[in-house]
């Protein structure tokens, strides 16, 4: 049996940083990444045979838990029929129909292989549909690693963003304007200055890449109104929140509070693939028909809608529609989040948490942050210590204070109880 440390040293010789996605490297929290050998239900086992209660869930897709028998059966049957054909399959249609049934704002959907690909193409489609170049995103929202989105805020609203990655020329992000999340004043000013040139605004309605931060209802109401007024498209990035926070995704929650609310385009991933590489973007037929082969906006993908991934996603989407599924999932997630806050308070530690459906977050702070600067002002060092205390106690949280957590249908009350017991000891140590 190899140790995690030995595997990490071996990995660093052949893989940059020893990982194939940066957050897995534990750079934010320090220490050695856990190399996972297998998973089942709410648990993972690392290379040393250590059992961990999993609150990452492959960063969201595993809403049913690992290895659900119905999903396994669907995937195994699909594998025997063929991995990929480079030609259409009936299952692609079935998955598209299932997504559209649950998303009233959309009439057509295009399947792709990653959230980055879906978000990148949604922006291209918005630009093609509007004939405009500029886009707005919000600091702390992550929409994948397309060049135009790897950008930080400029010095003011008149100044567009600056690249946050080497290899991204400044001219690539010259049309990207970065605003502060939940800041109504900045939003109004951006549209006042640039409204006629804005193709789209892309937003995570519940941001999961600055931990867990909701767009306020007044902010979302104003954003929708400004997009409609100026002819810009509102693009909801629901790669993380889609079918995870509610059956109708985050947009259904805003529609309950804002009469007639709908985004113009939606981006999905994670849950719709059930853990397989699959994502999608969707919208009204009039916009979606601007895509090739019907329109002039080009997009293609060799493995898009491949039969194994669509089998996995279709089985997952059908299972989460069972009566009471989200009521039960949401109650369990609230119990975890409220329990963490209560245990911290009892230890004299400031901690605030929030959750929706099977997605949650918490901050070492005396209030819930509403934007990225406020998230950055929370106690990072205390989070890092807490993370390792939880990991030592057999609870696997995201290895960075900027990431949301995920509860699955496989988590039991006993799992929550055990997690809170470990957290109570951790808070007492921190206090």
> Pick from 291, 319, 347: which residue ends a domain?
319
152 is catalytic: no
**CB neighbours of residue 349 within 10 Å:** 18
Which CATH number goes with the domain that contains 54? 3.90.1150.10
Number of domains in the chain: 2
Instruction: Examine the domain organization and report whether 142 and 83 are in the same domain.
Output: yes
Q: Annotated catalytic residue: which of 142, 254, 372, 402?
A: 142
Write b or e for each residue in 387-410: b if 16 or more Cβ atoms lie within 10 A of its Cβ, otherwise e: bbbbbebebbbbbbbbbbbbbbbb
- Same domain for 33 and 132, yes or no, is no
> CB 314: neighbour CB atoms within 10 A?
25
Nearest-10 Cα torsion for 130, 136, 137, 143: 20
Domain boundary among 256, 288, 319: 319
CA distance 334 to 282: 30
237 is catalytic: yes
Distance from C-alpha of 92 to C-alpha of 311, rounded to nearest angstrom: 9
Band of pLDDT at residue 237, cut at 50, 70 and 90: very high
Q: Using a CB cutoff of 8 Å and minimum separation of 24, what contacts does 71-74 make? A: 71/274, 71/312, 71/315, 71/316, 71/319, 73/315, 74/311, 74/312, 74/314, 74/315
Average pLDDT of the residues of the chain: 96
Residues facing 137 on adjacent strands: 178
Q: Which of 237, 264, 354, 415 is catalytic?
A: 237
CATH of the domain at 200: 3.40.640.10
Q: Is 108 in the same domain as 189? A: yes
The better pLDDT of the pair 183, 170 is held by 183
Residues 336 and 370 grouped into a single domain: yes
Same domain, 156 and 231: yes
For the stretch 121-143, pLDDT in tens is 999 999 999 999 999 999 999 99
230 with 369, same domain?
no
> Does the predicted model carry a pTM greater than 0.85?
yes
Longest dimension (CA), the chain: 62
Residues 264, 278: one domain?
yes
Percent of the chain with pLDDT over 70: 98
Both 118 and 53 in one domain: the answer is no
Q: Are strands 206-207 and 213-214 parallel, antiparallel or unpaired?
A: antiparallel
Of 303, 319, 335, which residue sits at a domain end?
319
| Active site annotation includes 137 | no
CB atoms within 10 A of CB 346: 12
- What is the per-residue pLDDT for 98? 98
**Quick one: pLDDT band at residue 170, thresholds 50, 70, 90?**
confident
pLDDT of residue 159: 58
| Beta strand extents in 301-423 (DSSP E only) | 352-356, 359-363, 395-396, 405-406
Q: Are residues 33 and 117 in the same domain?
A: no
Alpha-carbon separation of residue 186 from 189, 190, 324 (angstroms) = 5, 6, 40
The reply to whether 314 and 327 lie within a common domain is no
Write the pLDDT tens digit of every residue in 192-232: 999 999 999 999 999 999 999 999 999 999 999 999 999 99
- Domain shared by 135 and 282, yes or no: yes
Which of 181, 270, 354, 372 is an active site residue?
Answer: 270
Residue 103 domain boundaries = 69-319
pLDDT per residue as tens digits for the range 68-97: 999 999 999 999 999 999 999 999 999 999
Asked whether residue 123 falls in the same domain as residue 190, the answer is: yes
């Amino acid at each position: 049996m190899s140790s995690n440390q030995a595997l990490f040293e071996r990995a660093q010789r052949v893989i940059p940083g020893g990982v194939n996605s940066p957050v897995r490297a534990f750079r934010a929290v320090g220490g050695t990444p856990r190399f996972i050998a297998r998973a089942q239900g709410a648990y993972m086992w690392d290379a040393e045979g250590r059992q961990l209660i999993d609150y990452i869930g492959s960063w969201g897709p595993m809403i049913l838990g690992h290895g659900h028998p119905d999903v396994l059966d669907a995937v195994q049957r699909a594998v025997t029929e063929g991995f990929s054909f480079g030609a259409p399959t009936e299952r692609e249609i079935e998955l598209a129909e299932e997504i559209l049934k649950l998303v009233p704002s959309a009439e057509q959907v295009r399947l792709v292989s990653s959230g980055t690909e879906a978000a990148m193409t949604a922006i291209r489609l918005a630009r093609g549909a509007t004939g405009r170049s500029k886009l707005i995103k919000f600091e702390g929202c992550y929409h994948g690693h397309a060049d135009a989105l790897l950008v930080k805020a400029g010095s003011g609203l008149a100044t567009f963003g600056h690249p946050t990655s080497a290899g991204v020329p400044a001219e690539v992000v010259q049309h990207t304007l970065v605003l502060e999340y939940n800041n109504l004043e900045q939003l109004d000013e951006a549209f006042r200055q640039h409204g006629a040139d804005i193709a789209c605004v892309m937003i995570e309605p519940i941001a999961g890449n600055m931990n867990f931060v909701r767009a306020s209802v007044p902010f979302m109401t104003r954003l929708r109104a400004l997009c409609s007024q100026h002819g810009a498209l509102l693009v909801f990035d629901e790669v993380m929140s889609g079918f995870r926070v509610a059956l109708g995704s985050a947009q259904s929650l805003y529609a309950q509070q804002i009469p007639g609310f709908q985004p113009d385009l939606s981006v999905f991933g994670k849950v719709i693939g059930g853990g397989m590489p699959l994502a999608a973007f969707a919208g009204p037929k009039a916009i979606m028909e601007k895509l090739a082969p019907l329109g002039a906006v080009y997009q293609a993908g060799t493995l898009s809608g491949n039969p194994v991934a669509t089998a996995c996603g279709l089985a997952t989407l059908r299972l989460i529609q069972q009566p009471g599924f989200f009521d039960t999932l949401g109650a369990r997630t609230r119990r975890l989040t409220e329990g963490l806050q209560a245990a911290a308070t009892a230890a004299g530690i400031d901690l605030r948490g929030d959750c929706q459906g099977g997605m949650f977050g918490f901050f070492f702070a005396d209030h819930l942050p509403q934007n990225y600067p406020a998230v950055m002002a929370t106690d990072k060092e205390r989070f890092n210590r807490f993370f390792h205390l939880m990991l030592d106690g057999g609870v696997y949280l995201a290895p960075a204070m900027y990431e949301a957590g995920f509860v699955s249908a496989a988590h039991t009350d006993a799992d929550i109880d055990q997690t809170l017991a470990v957290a109570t000891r951790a808070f007492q140590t921190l206090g």
